[in-house]
Amino acid sequence: MLTSITWSFCLGLALEVSCAPSIHVPQALRRQSADNFTSYSIPPLESSGLNGTLRASAIKVKSDTFLYGPSIAGNTSFWPTGPLGKSIVTADFAALSVDEPLELKKIAADVAVVTATIEGAGGLKQLSDYELLYKNQWKESLPEGVDVGVVTNYTNDLFFSMERLSVNPYSIRRLNPSDTLAFPVDNGIATNITGITLSGLLKSGSLFYADYRDQATLESTGRFAAYCDAYFYIHPRSGDFLPLAIRTNTGSNLIYTPADTSNDWLLAKMMFNLNDFWHSQWYHLGATHNVLEIIWEAAYRTLSDDHPIMALLKRLSIRLFAYRVSAVTNLINKGGLIDKSFAFTGAAAGISTTKLYQSGAAGNFQSNYFYRNLESRGLYNNTFGPKIKCFPFLEDASVIHTSIQSVMTTFVDSYYTSPSSFQQDKELQAWIAEAKPAKIMDFPSSVDRQTLIDILTQFAYLGSAAHQTLNTNDLAEIKGTLPFHPASLYQTPPEKKGVPDLMPYLPPANASIQQLVLLGLFARPALVNSNVSLSQMFNDAPMLGKMNTKVADASATFEKEMLAQSKAIAARSFDKDGLSQGMPFIWRSLDPQRAPYYLTI
């Protein structure tokens, strides 16, 4: 019999808005708003007159009352403090809390159904029983179900390897021919699998690597994990991107390959996925939330609310400061949701986030520009080795990135009509200079036309396509699906090969439902085809009404392009080889009608 679990308060977000402290709006800000300026504007070289005085006064109030405080949920970017900073955080969290009870009700209804189904089947006794977790389940919280192919094709090696180029494209890198190999693979085994030796793959630029060994130092919840690193390769004949070997880095430090038994190799892939799942979530926190927060904080302290850049950043940052509060209160706190499902504790999540952020892997701004990040890891525009044949993340994200960049180009060109106008905008210059006291990592130290276009494009991209790739609906649709993506092992990794049964290592029924509930809490099915879909990123009538017509026209073009892309993704199916985008599953995460345009959770 499955034990009962109380879901109604598992996130603790059913907070009454009336309980939140009222927001104090300083007099200078109220007065500026009351003047009801008809349009956003950039300041001239010398501010003069009443409007200029009010504008400067309002900025000073913000900089005096919206302050940088100690980081929370890890040692990453500053967290708002001061009277205005605290008020904004409170308001954002209260706004998030309004949505959450509805999601909890949906999940509670679904849990009752799936629990009865599993009980009726006598529990989870074999791998195929995990299908019961999905067949005709989660109708309220995940009405369109998991991605096509997830339940049926997960044992396919191409499924596993192509997840590195779609579901989590932020950890894999191509090895340089001069790199030292992390671990050996027998020449005979490598040749039988790939047609070439490991060193031959390295020299040809066809060898890729992912490394999660650093997870070995993390605090355990008492459940189990390996600390995998792995090789992937481009097949010299087919051009397919495939897995070659996985090392566990625990116990007897086994090295698994596709030449092993099907049970051993499947368990190795599951152990790797456990580490990959952990990495993706704390990379996501550092690379999207933490980076966007501190850039917004610096902007808010230096830009007038009547500056068009500030208006744009506000549009792209709805409830920006709600999410870390939710994390420290309900997710990574002792006894919280991470402790209940993962192999590592909530405290370990803060450590992982800190490492990823402070190393620059997640925290750097410019070096993580969309194409620059991929180039730095040899995944795009590579100068050596064969080109990746199918790269779903690049294929889908590049469409969104290009359209965002087009809007930002129009936006910048419509407000900054000459090279000198960037220097004349003292608020813009103050924002760039504020990066130093704000400790924004790898932020531009000066600004011109292309720099500003790049800043705004990356800001919008991080909150939309980058975030959706790693989080939100993607978690329940594929990234955390069972049995292939366990958050924990329930038995120590094997000391020798020849595992007869995988079930002792996998989450039992209660733990499986707990994991799926956690993922469901991050899903936002109600936002699909809504006014907060990614296609609606710039479709804000009050904002556009105070901007010039060129920006409004660019917004309309963006929506048209995104709707066309959504139609193309929705029409995807398997080809004659049973593949979509070169994968044995149909990936929907970056459909602009399914993905939200801001962080959402």
Asked if pLDDT for residue 11 goes beyond 70, the answer is: no
Largest CA distance in the chain: 81
483 cis-preceded (ω within 30 degrees of 0): yes
CATH of domain 76-157+275-382+392-491+499-570: 1.20.245.10
Confidence of residue 48 (pLDDT cuts 50, 70, 90): low
- The pTM score is 0.94
CA separation for the pair 177, 327 (Å, rounded)? 41
Contact 416, 42 (CB under 8 A): yes
Question: Per residue in 322-365, pLDDT tens?
Answer: 999 999 999 999 999 999 999 999 999 999 999 999 999 999 99
**CA-based radius of gyration for the chain:** 25
pLDDT value of position 102:
62
CA separation for the pair 593, 566 (Å, rounded)? 6
Domain residue extents for the chain: 76-157+275-382+392-491+499-570, 170-262
- What DSSP string runs through 522-560? H--GGGTTSTTBGGGTT--HHHHHTS-HHHHHHHHHHHH
**In terms of DSSP bridges, do strands 79-81 and 241-247 run parallel, antiparallel, or are they unpaired?**
unpaired
Nearest to 411 by CA among 336, 493, 307, 487: 307
CA separation for the pair 286, 282 (Å, rounded)? 6
CA separation for the pair 275, 56 (Å, rounded)? 49
- What DSSP string runs through 283-295? HHIIIIIIHHHHH
Question: Per residue in 190-231, pLDDT tens?
Answer: 999 999 999 999 999 999 999 999 999 999 999 999 999 999
Nearest to 324 by CA among 68, 599, 73, 12: 73
pLDDT value of position 34:
34
Question: Per residue in 428-469, pLDDT tens?
Answer: 999 999 999 999 999 999 999 999 999 999 999 999 999 999
Confidence of residue 16 (pLDDT cuts 50, 70, 90): very low
Give 170-262's CATH code, choosing from 1.10.10.10, 3.40.50.720, 3.40.50.150, 3.10.450.60: 3.10.450.60
Nearest to 114 by CA among 456, 470, 515, 417: 515
CA separation for the pair 350, 543 (Å, rounded)? 36
* 170-262 has the same fold as 76-157+275-382+392-491+499-570: no
Give the contacts of 242 (CB within 8 A, at least 6 positions apart): 157, 158, 161, 194, 232, 233, 234, 235
pLDDT value of position 521:
87
